[in-house]
Structure 1
Amino acid sequence: MTLSTTKPKGREAIKAWHRQKIIEATVEVVSVYGIAETTVSRVVEHAKVSRGLVNVHFKTKKRLLLETAIYMSDLYTKASEEALRRGGDDPVKKMRNLVVSDFSEEILNERSVGFWLTLRSQVRSMPELIPMVETRDARYIEYIRNPLSKINEEGGYNVRLKMVVDGIMAMVEGMWVDYYIHYETFDRRKAVETVFLFLSSFFPDHFSVSPEEK
Structure 2
Amino acid sequence: MVSSDMAIVGEAKTRRSKGAERRQELIEVTIDCLARHGYEGTTIGVVAEAVGMSRGIVNFHFETKEQLLLATLRFLSDEYRAHWKGALATAGSQPARRLWALAMADFDRAICTPRKLAAWCAFWGEAKTRPTYRQMCGANDAEYQATAVELCAALAPDGVEPSQLARGIVCMLEGLWLHLMMSPGSLSREEARAVAAAQLALLLPGHFSAKGPL
TM-score range for the pair, normalised by the shorter chain length:
0.7 to 0.9
Deviation (angstroms), 1:53: 2.6
Aligned with 1:29 (options 25, 33, 36): 33
In the alignment, is the contact (CA less than 8 A) between 1:29 and 1:38 conserved in 2?
yes
In the alignment, is the contact (CA less than 8 A) between 2:114 and 2:184 conserved in 1?
yes
Q: Matched residue of 1:87: which SS?
A: coil
Is residue 2:116 matched to residue 1:112? yes
Tell me the C-alpha RMSD between the 2 structures: 2.2
In the alignment, the residues of structure 2 paired with residue 187 and residue 84 of structure 1 have an alpha-carbon distance, to the nearest angstrom, of 24
Aligned residue number for residue 206 of structure 2 = 205
Aligned residue number for residue 185 of structure 2 = 184
With normalisation by structure 1, the TM-score equals 0.84
Aligned residue number for residue 55 of structure 1 = 59
In structure 1, stretches of 5+ residues that fail to align are 1-8
Aligned residue number for residue 161 of structure 2 = 160
In structure 2, stretches of 5+ residues that fail to align are 1-12
Aligned residue number for residue 87 of structure 1 = 91
Is residue 2:50 matched to residue 1:46? yes
Aligned with 1:126 (options 126, 130, 144): 130
In the alignment, is the contact (CA less than 8 A) between 2:207 and 2:213 conserved in 1?
no
In the alignment, the residues of structure 1 paired with residue 182 and residue 127 of structure 2 have an alpha-carbon distance, to the nearest angstrom, of 21
Counterpart residue type for residue 29 of structure 2: A
Is residue 2:75 matched to residue 1:71? yes
Deviation (angstroms), 1:204: 2.4
Aligned residue number for residue 143 of structure 1 = 147
With normalisation by structure 2, the TM-score equals 0.84
In the alignment, is the contact (CA less than 8 A) between 1:58 and 1:64 conserved in 2?
yes
Which piece of structure 1 moves more, 29-38 or 183-192? 183-192
Choose between structure 1 and 2: higher helix proportion: 2
In the alignment, the residues of structure 2 paired with residue 78 and residue 142 of structure 1 have an alpha-carbon distance, to the nearest angstrom, of 16
In the alignment, the residues of structure 1 paired with residue 166 and residue 49 of structure 2 have an alpha-carbon distance, to the nearest angstrom, of 42
Pick closer, same or farther for the CA change 1:56–1:185 going to 2, 3 Å: same
Counterpart residue type for residue 120 of structure 1: W
Q: Give identity over the alignment, percent.
A: 29
The superposition leaves residues 14-38 of structure 1 with CA deviations (integer Å, 9 ceiling, x where unpaired) of: 1111111111111111121011111
In the alignment, is the contact (CA less than 8 A) between 1:145 and 1:165 conserved in 2?
yes
In the alignment, the residues of structure 2 paired with residue 196 and residue 213 of structure 1 have an alpha-carbon distance, to the nearest angstrom, of 10
In the alignment, is the contact (CA less than 8 A) between 2:95 and 2:154 conserved in 1?
yes
Counterpart residue type for residue 180 of structure 2: Y
Pick closer, same or farther for the CA change 1:132–1:111 going to 2, 3 Å: farther
Deviation (angstroms), 1:144: 1.4
Q: Matched residue of 2:108: which SS?
A: coil
In the alignment, is the contact (CA less than 8 A) between 1:83 and 1:97 conserved in 2?
yes
Aligned residue number for residue 174 of structure 2 = 173
Counterpart residue type for residue 200 of structure 2: L
In the alignment, is the contact (CA less than 8 A) between 1:131 and 1:137 conserved in 2?
no
Deviation (angstroms), 1:189: 4.1
